[in-house]
Chain A
Amino acid sequence: GAGVSQTPSNKVTEKGKYVELRCDPISGHTALYWYRQSLGQGPEFLIYFQGTGAADDSGLPNDRFFAVRPEGSVSTLKIQRTERGDSAVYLCASSLSQGNTEAFFGQGTRLTVV
């Protein structure tokens, strides 16, 4: 696609439920990043993929969060047993390679846990 696509745009879920957020990066981009942006804050790093592997998952807040990128393109961020504190905008970004400085962002998924 022309840009980074994230679905759904908005997601409302009940506390305790499981959610999946999808990111479709720009075709050919090997580096993919997930960030979380809480209200009134800047985005915070969650996880970085280079190809299919999670090269750095140091930003994941706890073991309820997990992400995959099985074929090196689309990535899914999975959150188990959602809590109200998980409510945020989840942003995905991709870049041509790890060393490339320009990261292109999607429009994010706004997750609301009620």
Chain B
Amino acid sequence: AQTVTQSQPEMSVQEAETVTLSCTYDTSESDYYLFWYKQPPSRQMILVIRQEAYKQQNATENRFSVNFQKAAKSFSLKISDSQLGDAAMYFCAYRSAYGGATNKLIFGTGTLLAVQP
């Protein structure tokens, strides 16, 4: 079974600075997707960034980028130029890419990010 581990329950960053959130996962599959979701107090999960395991190039979305290390099964999120609106709970998630699978998301326990003005 696949597992996702986020070892940082809480992180803090100064506005305009850079912060990195860690995520490791365990799987025996070779093809899968990895995600970072943001969950503000409204509870709605918002997709931040997605990485396909077969792609070596790290995904980037504006101020958000990932460091995907497939051999190490590591998938960290870097937030540059942090803004007050980035404050939220961040979840790392795994999804199988195999056809016929449920394709459910497997989530970590989350990292609560605080942004200090």
Within residues 25 to 52 of chain B, which ones have a CB less than 8 A from any CB in chain A? 33, 42-47, 50
Q: Per a CB cutoff under 8 Å, which of A43, A102, A106 touches B47?
A: A102
Q: What's the count of A-B pairs with C-beta under 8 Å?
A: 57
Contact between B44 and A105 (Cβ–Cβ < 8 Å)? yes
Cα-based distance from A93 to B43 in the complex (angstroms): 12
Contact between B102 and A55 (Cβ–Cβ < 8 Å)? yes
Chain A positions within 8 Å of B109 at CB level: 40-42
Q: Per a CB cutoff under 8 Å, which of B33, B50, B102, B107 touches A42?
A: B107
Contact between B33 and A101 (Cβ–Cβ < 8 Å)? yes
Chain A positions within 8 Å of B45 at CB level: 43, 91, 93, 105
Cα-based distance from A80 to B93 in the complex (angstroms): 30
Which one of B4, B99, B103 has the highest number of Cβ atoms from chain A below 10 Å of its Cβ? B103
Cα-based distance from A112 to B110 in the complex (angstroms): 22
Per-residue contact bits, chain A 78-101, to B (CB 8 Å; 1 contact, 0 not): 000000000001010100001101
Asked whether A59 is an interface residue with its Cβ less than 8 Å from the other chain, the reply is yes
Asked whether B106 is an interface residue with its Cβ less than 8 Å from the other chain, the reply is yes
Give the residue name and chain of the B residue nearest to A102 (CB).
B47
Chain B positions within 8 Å of A99 at CB level: 99, 103
Cα-based distance from A91 to B107 in the complex (angstroms): 13
Within residues 78 to 115 of chain B, which ones have a CB less than 8 A from any CB in chain A? 91, 93, 95, 99, 102-110
Chain B positions within 8 Å of A55 at CB level: 102
